[in-house]
Chain A
Amino acid sequence: MKKRYLILYLFPAIFFAVVFFIVPLFYIVYISFFEWNGLNAMKMVGIQNYISVLTDKNFILAFKNTIVWILAAVCIHIPLGLMLALLLNRKICGWKVFRVLYFLPNVISITALAFLWYFIYHKDMGLLNWLLEGIGMGRFAKGWLTELGTALPATIVPFAIYVGLTTVIFMTQLATISDDLKEAALLDGAKGWQMDLHIYVPLVKPAIVTNVMLNVAFCLKNFEYPFVMTSGGPVNTTTTLALYIYKKMMNANQYGISMVGSIFTVLLGLCLMVLVNGLQRGKKGD
């Protein structure tokens, strides 16, 4: 009887997962074996689309760029969010205002923010070059989005403004830490950074996992920043997997190849999630 109810409760979740994820995923896999321009009859080409994608230097570049985004998220964005959370956790003057300010970019249109950054980086009228000129470092002014060496980092930097969500998740976890534990640590003589390093950081590990997953998902879906700021250029140096999929479908009308790009993106996402969960379980086992 209980099991019957259990299935009943699970039914909506299973239904939506099947209709909106499993079925489309199978359809994507199906189309990936065809040459199709979206209009004409589909022509079965076997694994040719997979070979084309794996030998396409633009796909390899998009894959690498997405990995760079993920590394920036894990190695820079999350530690930054943790540091801010630990700082705000000390209830410094105006901490609630800062919390709101940090979170604000998360509720603003990504497209609008991408345009804003486009103009910050603009060679002639950009704020960044203007500031460099203003402080006597005009020799460093450049076309940040048009030069091969700076375009990718320049499109990644705006990611930092979303640190508010990461910070809030860490703060939520910090709020669950028992006062008894904090008092015990204080009685033992722990102060400042010692509390952070030995009490708070070990106890926010579940939040680290959550943040890694959310940030990896953001990077895998990341489309607007490279699309608005550089159209994926110059010479595809800022193209991400999401933009590669879009370009293959909308610009080149290569639906089959676009679907293969989607499948590899899903696989990358799954691998990363399994890895993160595995690491988390491993730590729990320790």
Chain B
Amino acid sequence: MFAEAGITEFPDTWDGLLEACKTLQDAGYGGFSLFTGDDAWYSINLITALWIANDGAVTVNASTSFNTPGMIDALNTYKEFCKYSTSDVIGGNYSVAGANFSSKKTTMAIDGSWFTSYQDEAVIPSIGVAPMPTNGDGVAQQGYLVTDAQTPWAASAQTDPAKEAAIAEFMKFITTEESTKTLTMEGSVVLSAKLELSDADLAGVTEQMASYLETNGDAPSRTTNLQRNLSTQAGAELPTLLESFLLDQITAEQFCEQLDELN
């Protein structure tokens, strides 16, 4: 579809990708598969990626607020991308957006590479995996990763100091690189930690897990999709906020303020 529209290389900047979406639309194809229903997963992946491109992964990972100029700009760019998506962005859900990609209504799905395995076998050879574009200003490094994977470890408060010390010791043990590797390789637990893995290690896991580990290992940075950093209540209101923003009921600034307030 990219070739049909005359695009030979996947753009390496977001501005370039926006231009490409316009070209694709002129050729009769939608840009990204996006949706606001359920957890608005694709939309939030895109917004997170755009935010990282604006502020850099280190800043985004450390940010305690969504109300930043980089995030506001990311939302406005996201709105631009929505113009090149399908008409069911508002209210659509993961199945609808996934089907839009599978049925070639859209050309891109911002999802894990495993998503390819869901596609029809005849279609798979025509699907490519592209690294996240940047703004071309060096703020974000090419190939940065937006991930869903995070494994928080938590323990309830203890009154017994001996138990508390034992728990702390266990936490230290379970989060060592060796333990992380064991959990990943033997337990198939998807963690976002960067691991040093040999070819022999990768041969012992499934193809999808190997693909994930390689991508994760090669990425210059990993940022958890911003929705995973929201409180449950804020996460539940996120689709409504997105729809309000897309329907021009609130501005990007108000979106960020309200999200901070909810969170």
A interface residues, tally (CB under 8 Å): 23
Residue in chain A with minimal CB distance to B232:
A253
Query: Which of chain A's residues 9-37 have a Cβ closer than 8 Å to chain B?
Result: 37
Judged by a CB distance under 8 angstroms, whether B253 is at the interface is no
Judged by a CB distance under 8 angstroms, whether A231 is at the interface is yes
Cross-chain pair count, CB within 8 angstroms: 61
Cβ distance B72 to chain A, nearest Cβ, rounded Å: 20
Of the candidates A122, A151, A231, A253, which one forms a contact with B239 in the assembled complex, judged by CB atoms under 8 Å apart? Answer: A231
Query: Which of chain B's residues 204-263 have a Cβ closer than 8 Å to chain A?
Result: 232-233, 235-237, 239-240, 243-244, 247, 249
Docked-complex contact A235 and B232, CB < 8 angstroms = no
Cβ distance B250 to chain A, nearest Cβ, rounded Å: 9
Docked-complex contact A148 and B247, CB < 8 angstroms = yes
Judged by a CB distance under 8 angstroms, whether B55 is at the interface is no
Judged by a CB distance under 8 angstroms, whether B87 is at the interface is yes
Judged by a CB distance under 8 angstroms, whether B33 is at the interface is no
Name the B residues within 8 Å of A252 (CB-CB). 232-233, 235-237
Residue in chain B with minimal CB distance to A238:
B91
| Most A-side CB within 10 Å, residue of B37, B233, B240 | B240
Residue in chain A with minimal CB distance to B35:
A231
Judged by a CB distance under 8 angstroms, whether B141 is at the interface is no
Judged by a CB distance under 8 angstroms, whether B38 is at the interface is yes
A253 to B105, CA, bound (A): 35
A123 to B89, CA, bound (A): 11
Query: Which of chain A's residues 84-136 have a Cβ closer than 8 Å to chain B?
Result: 122-124
Chain B 23-54, CB-CB to A under 8 Å as 1, else 0, gives 00000000000001110000000000000000
Judged by a CB distance under 8 angstroms, whether A234 is at the interface is yes
Docked-complex contact B235 and A251, CB < 8 angstroms = yes
Cβ distance A245 to chain B, nearest Cβ, rounded Å: 13
A123 to B36, CA, bound (A): 16
Known contacts A148-B247, A252-B232, A254-B233; A233/B88 CB under 8 A: no
A26 to B247, CA, bound (A): 41
Contact residues of B: prevailing secondary structure? loop
Docked-complex contact A236 and B235, CB < 8 angstroms = no
Cβ distance B255 to chain A, nearest Cβ, rounded Å: 12
Known contacts A231-B37, A235-B244; A124/B86 CB under 8 A: yes
Docked-complex contact A234 and B236, CB < 8 angstroms = no
Residue in chain B with minimal CB distance to A143:
B87
Judged by a CB distance under 8 angstroms, whether A207 is at the interface is no
Name the A residues within 8 Å of B38 (CB-CB). 231
Known contacts A148-B247, A252-B233; A233/B240 CB under 8 A: yes
A241 to B146, CA, bound (A): 36
Cβ distance B96 to chain A, nearest Cβ, rounded Å: 9
Name the B residues within 8 Å of A124 (CB-CB). 86-88, 105
3 closest A-B pairs by CB = A252-B236, A251-B236, A123-B87
A-B contact list, 15 entries, CB within 8 Å: A124-B88, A124-B105, A146-B87, A146-B89, A146-B90, A231-B93, A233-B36, A233-B90, A233-B91, A233-B240, A234-B243, A235-B244, A251-B236, A252-B236, A253-B232
Q: In the complex, given contacts A124-B105, A146-B89, A231-B91, what are 4 additional A-B residue pairs having Cβ atoms less than 8 angstroms apart?
A: A234-B36, A234-B91, A253-B233, A254-B233
